[in-house]
Amino acid sequence: MSLTNLTEEEKYILLQLSYLDIPDNLRPSEKKPVTIDRIIEELSKKNLDEGAQKKFDAVKAYMNSDEHKFSPLKEVKLVGYQNNNPNGGNNSDGRSHSGFVGYAFTDGNGNGTALYRGSEDLTNPSHIATDWVSNLDAGIGVEIRQQREANAFYQRYLAGLDGEHFVFGHSKGGNLAAYVLVNNLDERLSSFIVNGAPLYWWNLTKEQQEALKGDRNTFIVHEGDFVSSLGYAQYVDKTVYINSQDEGLMYPHGLDSVNFTSTGDFEKYFDGQSNTRTYANAGAATIFYLVSNLPKVQIYKVSAYIREATMQILEAAVRGIRKTVEFVRDQVTKLIANVKELSQRIKAEVTKFFNDLAIKAAILFVKVVAKLGGYFPVEPYLKVNIDRLYYYAQRLEAIKRRVSVLNDRIDSLYWEVDLLDIRHVLSADILTSFSYRLNQNINYLNTAARLLDSNESKLVGKARIIR
């Protein structure tokens, strides 16, 4: 009964494990399953990146603790693994680079669970090209390849088992787990989802909606989590308080942001969701619902603008670049305002969404500055060629004009390609139409040159008076 009586902490340990790549020499199968202790032994020999190392340390500390030597996790075994990341190596199925990663565990009583990995580090371009590109698509009801692969993975490794079936997922992995649940309601299947990216509610049948709201689905959110609010998810079972208020905007989303009691239960939580989340969640849901009624080309364009701007704001906030946060917010609201097909209601909802996001980012910016000692270092001496600043600004202006012409040509392609090629056109469109960096650099160069020129003239004038 090991998989049927896991504590909340043990489920979190499995979710931490879902972000670790299984070494090639441990390829599991039903005839050659692998224990978690064996996985730890092999991964101890590997050089892991910082994010993976942190998750590995959490899994290792739990499994090697005397306190947990009788944990049910000691008996479960990995019988299936699929890694479709572009760098998935020999673990990939050889056909897909979608970014999907799945794990299948079974116990000695015929029970089984599938784990689905969530979105990975957005600073890695290969993950942006797989995970993050499809997050908004899934949010507005466009079926994505990872969802289909998650369902096929479940069917391959768990559907034939005699016991209870489970699917676990965090973040985007939670979206995959929910997708598998609602598409296999005839199975003995339950889900455990933490900070999951919600399914698009209005595409679900009444039966599927009831399954998400019922006992078969456990939906956990952390206090202040951002991702689980990007859609309609009015079926939260527990809201868990985070263990620190001094971290970044995305900290509540992580698996290590909450604490557990000695018995493996959440240390501090309340049932259901907060009033703040209820309001915020409804606002995000309104945007996705309204946008989904647009023509498919406009759905892709608007969702791409929102996704790209959200990622830029979060990245800028983490780096403490406050002006960039405000600039991106202003630029994306202008872009949305210029889309003629959008109603005033959509434009108002998007503007409010990004104003709220910018406020959260500003709070994070203050924390970043505080961690740096309250100030940024200043160069004691600067030598600047003002003429060259004006020259570079003019060069960028010329580039911007060429990009504008190119963008007009790309827009015309939307009506000439089929659905399979839209993503390629969209990728090119984003690079050209969302060009706030060019404007930002041009304004910076011109302003810097003008101020330096003016101040230099004043200083020279004062120096002549002194002489």
Q: Quick check: 420 pLDDT over 80?
A: no
Q: Where are the domains of the chain?
A: 2-280, 294-377, 379-467
Q: Which residues have C-beta within 8 Å of that of residue 42, sequence separation ≥ 6?
A: 23, 25, 26
Tens of pLDDT, residues 179-224:
999 999 999 999 999 999 888 887 899 999 999 999 999 999 998 8
**Where does 33-166 have alpha helices with state H?**
36-43, 50-63, 125-127, 133-139, 145-157
Q: What is the pLDDT of residue 122?
A: 45
Q: What is the mean pLDDT of residues 245-249?
A: 73
Q: Are 156 and 80 in contact (CB under 8 A)?
A: yes
Token pair of 22 as six digits: 């299984």
Q: What is the pLDDT of residue 371?
A: 47
| Residue bearing the bigger pLDDT, 92 or 403 | 403
Sole residue written with tokens 């942006």: 128
Q: Are 169 and 195 in contact (CB under 8 A)?
A: no
Q: What is the mean pLDDT of residues 30-47?
A: 92
Q: Quick check: 23 pLDDT over 80?
A: yes
- For the chain, percent helix, then strand, then coil, each to nearest 5? 55, 10, 35
**Where does 228-295 have alpha helices with state H?**
275-292
Q: What is the mean pLDDT of residues 222-229?
A: 82
Q: Do you know the residue count of the chain?
A: 467
20, 81, 261, 355 from 57: Cα distances, Å: 11, 21, 19, 38
pTM exceeds 0.85 for this model? no
Count other C-beta atoms under 10 Å from residue 84's C-beta: 22
Q: Quick check: 164 pLDDT over 90?
A: yes
C-alpha count within 13 angstroms, C-beta hemisphere, residue 361: 27
Secondary-structure class of domain 2-280 per CATH: alpha beta
Token pair of 55 as six digits: 């998750």
- Integer Cα distance of 140 and 194 in angstroms: 20
Q: What is the pLDDT of residue 278?
A: 59
- Integer Cα distance of 148 and 136 in angstroms: 16
Report the candidate in 296, 306, 345, 297 with the shortest Cα–Cα distance to residue 329.
Answer: 306
Q: Quick check: 437 pLDDT over 90?
A: no
Q: What is the mean pLDDT of residues 281-293?
A: 59
Tens of pLDDT, residues 366-396:
444 444 444 444 444 455 677 777 777 788 8
Q: Quick check: 27 pLDDT over 50?
A: yes
Sole residue written with tokens 């960039």: 324
What is the secondary structure of 129-195 as a DSSP string? IIIIHHHHHHHTT---HHHHHHHHHHHHHTTT-SS-EEEEEETHHHHHHHHHHHT-TTSSEEEEEES
Q: What is the pLDDT of residue 290?
A: 65
Q: What is the pLDDT of residue 394?
A: 80
| Residue bearing the bigger pLDDT, 56 or 450 | 56
- Integer Cα distance of 182 and 186 in angstroms: 9
Would you give the distance in Å from CA 389 to the centre of its chain? 38
Q: Quick check: 363 pLDDT over 60?
A: no
Q: What is the pLDDT of residue 65?
A: 95
Q: What is the pLDDT of residue 5?
A: 92
Would you give the distance in Å from CA 311 to the centre of its chain? 9
Tens of pLDDT, residues 314-350:
656 655 555 666 776 777 677 677 766 677 877 777 7
